[in-house]
Structure 1
Amino acid sequence: MILKYKTSVDRVGDYATTFLEEKMLILFGKDAPAELEEYCVSIVMNDVQGSIKVGDILQLKDREYRITAIGDAVENNLATLGHITLKFDSSALPELPGTLYLEDQPISQLDTGDEIKIYER
């Protein structure tokens, strides 16, 4: 396993789960705008190690999701803002630059302290 990114959940906004119906979670680092903070999963800022690729695995808690598509801005946004959208719909083509597309599976509920990892097997 080659670890490319690892962070932990700092806080889950009161309305962050409202996007689960749309199969989405929004991640943001410590500098989320106040008007978005309650809709985001706040994460600890960390660097991305290497390139994230289709076929890599994103792990939320103990559940794994295969990455199916990657928006052009995902790596930069993750490293500089901690801000990306996770979309669990198995899309093969990235529609939005800041979105990481993952296989369509039930989404793990996140709590403060939970880990999020991206790795290559």
Structure 2
Amino acid sequence: MNPTRNLTYSTKVVDIGAEAQDFKAVNMLIFFGDEAPDLLKSSCFIINVEPLDKDIEVGQTLQIGEDTYKITAVGNEVSRNLGNLGHMAVKFTGETEAGMPGSIYVEKGEFPHISKGTEVKIY
């Protein structure tokens, strides 16, 4: 399978807020475009805002750097928020019901190592 043919979304981390890694304690991370509100910026991994090729769906794969996760639930605002604002929360809990409209839920796994330049893709 050629993963680039099935690519839904691709971006890179351009900055990391001072408290962004702190959400690891609750198995969550937050991506936001560079126009994130000042109150939220310190809590976010800042990414380039890029268009989506199609909506994000359950069963797709989230890749953060070298780490991959199966998407288990998708909030009803995720695709719109990600495409327009670069905003998406990722919860590493494996839940199959999206409790938060702006979040995707992925299978339980190791929290990814993220640095400036880390690629984020959804297949």
TM-score between the two structures when normalised by the length of structure 1: 0.96
**Alignment partner of 2:100: what SS?**
coil
- Cα distance in 1 between the residues matched to 2:112 and 2:74: 20
Q: Where does residue 15 of structure 1 map in the other structure?
A: 19
Q: Does 1:64 align with 2:44?
A: no
Q: Which of the two has greater strand per residue? A: 1
Is 2:29 the counterpart of 1:25?
yes
Query: What are the residue-to-residue correspondences of 1:52-91 with 2, within 5 Å?
Result: 52-91=56-95
Greater than 4 Å deviation, 4+ residue runs: none
Paired residue total = 119
| Residues 13-70 of structure 1 deviation map (CA, whole Å, 9 limit, x = unaligned) | 1110110010000010011111111110000010011121111000010110000000
1:109 Cα deviation from its structure 2 partner: 1.6
Structure-2 residue corresponding to 1:101: 105
Separation in 2, partners of 1:54, 1:4: 13
Alignment partner of 1:109: what SS? Answer: coil
Match of 1:112 in 2: 116
Q: Pairwise CA RMSD of aligned residues? A: 0.6
The answer to whether residue 1 in structure 2 is matched with residue 4 in structure 1 is no
AA aligned opposite 2:52: V
Distance of 2:67 and 2:46 partners within structure 1: 19
Q: Which amino acid aligns with 1:83?
A: H
The one-letter code matched in structure 1 to 2:26 is E
